Each structure stands twice: as structure tokens, then as C-alpha cells.
Amino acid sequence: MSTESPIKLTSLSSKGGCGCKIGPADLSQVVRSLPQPEPNPDLLVGLDTSDDAGVYRLSADMAIVQTVDFFTPIVDDPYSFGQIAAANAISDIYAMGGKPLTALNIVAFPITTLDKQILADIMRGAADKAKEAGVTIVGGHSIDDKEPKFGMAVTGLVHPDRVRTNAGAQAGDRLILTKPIGVGIMTTAIKKEQLTAEEIARVTKVMAALNKTAAETMSRYEVHACTDVTGFGLLGHALEMAKGSQATITIDRQAVPILPRTRELAEQGFVPGGTKNNFAHVTPNVTFDPSLDQIDQWILCDAVTSGGLLIAIADSQAEALLRDLQEAGVEAAIIGAVTGTSAGTGQGHIQVQG
Ligand code: CO
Ligand code: CO
Ligand code: CO
């Protein structure tokens, strides 16, 4: 009989969730050094636009959407970790306007030193989440590794004319965010045992929620641009949209939904390194209202795991979409607008109001 206390999954790795992504500055340095791929007219969305997934046209009315995501445990409960990893991986299909179809599991696990039941629970959480999404798991690959990691490669379908990318946001559009932020700071506090059981349940529920309902609701509207908010944080992903759309985006800090106690925990020092990297990366292209202090700025850059969709939609339709999302149970809010163009600069810009 074992007298050991249950394994804390988050203690097995130094970074958790999307916070373990290689930072945008390091990554772009590597990608820049690669040879340019051969142009292919059927590659509708490739490497060059910082989009969520690749899109490849099969016929005039059908394209496949492909994406992969995997990371270290972000919560201690294995079943919840599996759910979150699956919801996060599938999300990139929704963010492109696609319908997810199939998935492959990606598993790294210290199989000789950790209880196999933990891996079984992770995979059961992922399988349940895939089922909820209508996704069929068709296989996978596993390796014996010191730190556990889990994720999925997901394939979906989209009509080539209905692909939602970072490009396409237009001046006058409103921006809708469909989940609260603060996830990186909250989960860093989980690792340091600073959250109550209720707070852990709340942030787990946010991360494990599929973007399915948000995406299906969005599909009934003429959305101009969409991405999901993950490792690069709200401002990092908003900046990718601003860059892709050659736009200036204005975000109203007061309107951004933030998980309760995020600020308090950030003030106590639970700000992950990934969040600070994100802040450093976006700073040249962001103007913060002087009323925002460093903590406010970090929160807006906080590395999210399995965050919501960020949607740009014409002003005339924004309120209707918001109401539909909220009626469907999505924690959506209008958080800003596209306020200008940056065409010709090759850059995007973000202004944050206090
Ligand atoms: Co994404
Ligand atoms: Co992604
Ligand atoms: Co991804």
C-alpha cells in the first residue's frame, strides 16, 4: 500500500501549458533562417502569416485545416490536463473557421517512474473532450520522456471561401473576446499552491471549455478576422491580427474580462516568464495609456492556455453576435475596435486605453 501523497503533475516541469512555447522572438529568428518554401496555389494559409493553422485546398469547395499543439501539465489533475490539452489543440481549427474532424494524440511520459494510471487519465480526459467536439481520434505517437507532455495534431475541414485568418480586420470593426484572461498568472499560482479549490475549478473550467459554441455562433456571421488567444497572450495575438490586417487595434482595458484575483496574484509575483517575454515582444508596437502600470500591462500580455476566440466583426453586427454568444453560454465581451490602418508600414499597432 502506498502512503505517498498524490503526484502534483505541475511540479514535474518548470513551465506549464502554452507558457512552455518557445518565445516569439526566438522562434521568428529560427524561422527566418529557413529556405522559402516553393509557392503552391493550394496552400491557402501557410507559415508566413502567424495564423493558427495551415489550410490546404483539396477542391474548389473543400480545404483541410491542420494544426498541432502539445505542452506540459498546466493543472495537477490528469483528467483535466487531458481535457485542456485537447480543447486547446482543437481550438486552432475553430479559430480558422473550420470544423474539426480527426486527431492524433501526442504523448511524452516517464512511463517507468510515474503511475501508468496518470497517463490513462490524461488520455481519457482528451478522449472525452474530442468526443464533445465531434472529433474522432485516429491514432497517435508516444515517447518515454522525463517530463510528461500531451497534445494533439488535429485536422478539420473548411470551405476555401470561409477561412478566417488574422488578415481581414477592417477599420470600424469591433473586437469580441470569448473567454476571460489571467490564466497564466492563475496557473502559476496553482504551482505555488496559492489558489483555493474553487479558484482551481474556475480556471480549469475556462481552459477546458471548447471554442465550439463560439465558433458555431460566429459561423452564422460575416466575420472579418479571427484567432484564438493562447501562449502569446491577448496583446500578442491581437498584434498578429493587427499585423495581418495592416491595422491599428484599440483595446479598452476596462472591458477585458479578467479572472478574479489575477491582479492580486500578479502583484504577489506570480507572473510567468512567458508573460514577461510576451510583453517585451509586443512593446515596440503597443501604446499603453499612462494610467496602466506594469502589472496591468503584464496581465494583458499574460500567456494564456486554451483561451477564447478573438473576433473582428463589422460594428453593425457586433452587438448581435455578442448577444448570440452570451445566450449560448459563452463568456464573451466586446473589448475594443479596429481604429485605423497601418497599410504600407508592414506593421500592426495596438493602443490600450485605461
Ligand atoms: Co491559435
Ligand atoms: Co495556436
Ligand atoms: Co496552436
- The β-bridge relationship of strands 247-252 and 349-353 is parallel
Quote the ligand 2 centre to 54 CA distance (angstroms).
10
Query: Among all ligands shown, which has an atom nearest to the Cα of 165?
Result: 1
Determine the pLDDT at residue 31: 81
Ligand 1 center to 309 CA (angstroms): 9
CA 115 – CA 218 distance, rounded (Å): 42
Query: Which ligand approaches the C-alpha of residue 68 most closely?
Result: 3
Cα dihedral across residues 11, 12, 17, 18: positive or negative: positive
Q: Which chain residues have CB less than 5 Å from ligand 2, an ion? A: 52, 92
- Give residue 34 CA to ligand 1 midpoint distance, Å: 22
What pLDDT does residue 18 have?
65
pLDDT of residue 19: 65
User: What secondary structure letter does DSSP report for 328?
Assistant: T
Cα 12 to chain centroid distance, Å, stands at 23
Q: Which ligand is nearest to the CA of 227?
A: 1
Query: Is residue 71 within 8 Å of residue 18, measured between CB atoms?
Result: yes
CA of 114 to the centre of ligand 2 (A): 29
Quick check: 323 and 190 in contact, CB under 8 A?
A: no
Cα–Cα distances in angstroms (integers) from residue 85 to residues 31, 73, 154, 301, in the given order: 25, 9, 12, 21
pLDDT at position 202 is 97
The catalytic residues are 18
Residue 335 · residue 252 · CB < 8 Å: yes
pTM of model > 0.85: yes
> 17 C-alpha to center of ligand 2: Å?
12
Which residues 6+ apart lie within 8 Å of 336 measured at CB? 174, 175, 238, 249, 250, 251, 252, 255
Q: What is the pLDDT along the chain (354 residues), one digit of tens a residue?
A: 344 457 889 888 877 666 677 776 787 788 888 888 788 999 999 877 778 899 999 999 999 999 999 999 999 999 999 999 999 999 999 999 999 999 999 999 999 999 999 999 999 999 999 999 999 999 999 999 999 999 999 999 999 999 999 999 999 999 999 999 999 999 999 988 999 999 999 999 999 999 999 999 999 999 999 999 999 999 999 999 999 999 999 999 999 999 999 999 999 999 999 999 999 999 999 999 999 999 999 999 999 999 999 999 999 999 999 999 999 999 999 999 999 988 888 889 999 999
